[in-house]
């Protein structure tokens, strides 16, 4: 557990780094680890905003006690019930049995499911306010960002937004906690991957949250993961606005499935033809080697997507099928799509990617290309139109 740090007024950051966990939610890789943030407001009335995952820091309650210096904890505000933010709630309740838990009606139902009947639960409504003394809090309901009970807490006095999972990021806080202490280029890929993997399915609900924040002055953004934004919150707000609108860069990601290298040769050929037409942002991934987390991240990043699959038992390759199923589930929109593939005795890969395209309604830049057997110059030339049309879409 790191040393508490002042954010603004009497708001203190309490956080911990987790470099041991390999998978977030037991699915998304964490090569750079993850940080957990929560916040204590030490006013006339005291309030703890969220907690951290259980076991990440053994001295969490001690840090809370030290900051309170013998005073009671009046309120425990739960913005989001997921266990990486409520992992220390039971310990807080043991130490402060009279604390009043603040949440909404959906919060209370999950609290009961986790811990049974809990005393002193205070149900708050949208825009309800809670005075602490110098600080005055307002609660904003932001359902499905990214659970149904999620809400945000806004400090009206210091204009600080406690945003829950929204505006968060993967990656540990390596010394620097605040945005003015870090090189953000280190975090941007992890932040986009966090958004696309965790929050992206609910992009429309993120936009609804932005509607609620219209006209609300925000000096600091305090998410539960990643850097705390006290100097330039408009950076993280702008990125989340862009990503939740499905806006993307003029580049292309080519993802292929290949058993013996034939489809891979086609992917390289298409990439070269696109590069010859002036497109510089091109990424190629083997679906069998690149984790789906990173594939989704690049699809969120780039406007152009080209999917290629060998035939596998008259279907597309299983890992390509998994990717397309996840993309349908997440509801990614407004992408330019190219389709290619190869087969030796019977097709199926291209046909089934085409079904995916029809389901998600992405724009098909050209007719799909399916190559029979080992690619040669004449067969590869069938891909020229696909490469040309994709390059034109990206200019």
What is the reported pLDDT for 395? 87
Task: Express each pLDDT in 363-393 by its tens digit.
Answer: 999 999 999 999 999 999 999 999 999 999 9
| Per-residue pLDDT at 300 exceeds 90 | yes
Strand 136-141 relative to strand 151-155: parallel, antiparallel, unpaired? antiparallel
Half-sphere exposure of 210 (CA within 13 A, CB side): 18
Residues 252, 338: Cα–Cα separation, whole Å: 10
Residues 336, 333: Cα–Cα separation, whole Å: 9
Other Cβ atoms within 10 Å of 23 Cβ, number = 11
Burial class (CB in 10 A: 0-12, 13-18, 19+), 355: exposed
**pLDDT tier at 273 (50, 70, 90 boundaries)?**
very high
Task: Express each pLDDT in 17-70 by its tens digit.
Answer: 999 999 999 999 999 999 999 999 999 999 999 999 998 988 899 999 999 999
Q: Note the pTM of the prediction, 2 decimals.
A: 0.94
Mean pLDDT rounded to a whole number for the chain: 96
Task: Express each pLDDT in 96-154 by its tens digit.
Answer: 999 999 999 999 999 999 988 888 999 999 999 999 999 999 999 999 999 999 999 99
Q: Is the separation of the CB atoms in 365 and 386 below 8 Å? A: yes
The domains located in the chain, with CATH, are 5-244 (3.60.15.10), 253-394 (3.40.50.360)
What is the reported pLDDT for 238? 97
**pLDDT tier at 1 (50, 70, 90 boundaries)?**
low
Angle between helices 349-360 and 318-330 (to 10 degrees): 0
Task: Express each pLDDT in 335-350 by its tens digit.
Answer: 999 999 999 988 889 9
Q: Please compute the mean of the pLDDT values over residues 275-291 and round it to a whole number.
A: 98
């Amino acid at each position: 557990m790191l040393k508490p740090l002042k954010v603004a007024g009497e708001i203190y950051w309490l956080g911990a780094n987790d470099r041991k966990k390999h998978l977030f939610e037991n699915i998304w890789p964490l090569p750079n680890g993850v940080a957990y943030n929560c916040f204590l407001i030490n006013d006339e009335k005291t309030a703890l905003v969220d907690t951290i995952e259980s076991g990440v820091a053994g001295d969490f309650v001690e840090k809370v006690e030290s900051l309170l210096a013998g005073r009671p904890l009046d309120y425990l505000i739960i913005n989001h019930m997921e266990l990486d933010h409520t992992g220390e709630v039971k310990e807080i309740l043991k130490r402060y049995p009279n604390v009043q838990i603040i949440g909404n009606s959906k919060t209370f139902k999950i609290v009961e499911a986790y811990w049974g009947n809990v005393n002193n639960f205070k149900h708050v409504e949208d825009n309800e306010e809670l005075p602490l003394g110098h600080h005055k809090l307002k609660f904003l309901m932001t359902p499905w960002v990214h659970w149904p009970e999620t809400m945000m807490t806004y400090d009206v006095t210091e204009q600080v937004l406690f945003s829950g999972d929204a505006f968060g990021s993967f990656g540990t806080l390596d010394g620097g906690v605040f945005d003015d202490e870090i090189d953000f280029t280190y975090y941007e890929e992890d932040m986009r991957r966090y958004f696309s993997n965790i929050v992206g399915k609910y992009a429309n609900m993120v936009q609804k949250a932005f509607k609620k924040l219209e006209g609300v002055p925000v000096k600091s953004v305090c998410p539960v993961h990643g850097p705390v934004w006290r100097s330039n919150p408009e950076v993280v707000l702008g990125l989340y606005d862009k990503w939740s609108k499905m806006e993307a860069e003029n580049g292309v990601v080519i993802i292929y499935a290949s058993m013996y290298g034939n489809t891979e040769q086609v992917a390289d050929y298409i990439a070269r033809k696109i590069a010859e037409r002036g497109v510089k942002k091109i990424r190629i991934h083997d679906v069998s080697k690149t984790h789906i987390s990173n594939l989704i991240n690049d699809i969120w990043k780039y406007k152009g997507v080209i999917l290629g699959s060998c035939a596998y038992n008259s279907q597309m390759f299983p890992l390509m099928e998994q990717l397309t199923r996840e993309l349908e589930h997440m509801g990614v929109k407004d992408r330019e799509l190219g389709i290619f593939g190869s087969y030796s005795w019977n097709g199926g890969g291209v046909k089934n990617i085409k079904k995916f395209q029809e389901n998600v309604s992405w724009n098909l830049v050209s007719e799909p290309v399916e190559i029979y057997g080992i690619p040669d110059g004449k067969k590869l030339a069938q891909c020229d139109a696909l490469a040309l049309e994709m390059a034109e879409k990206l200019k």
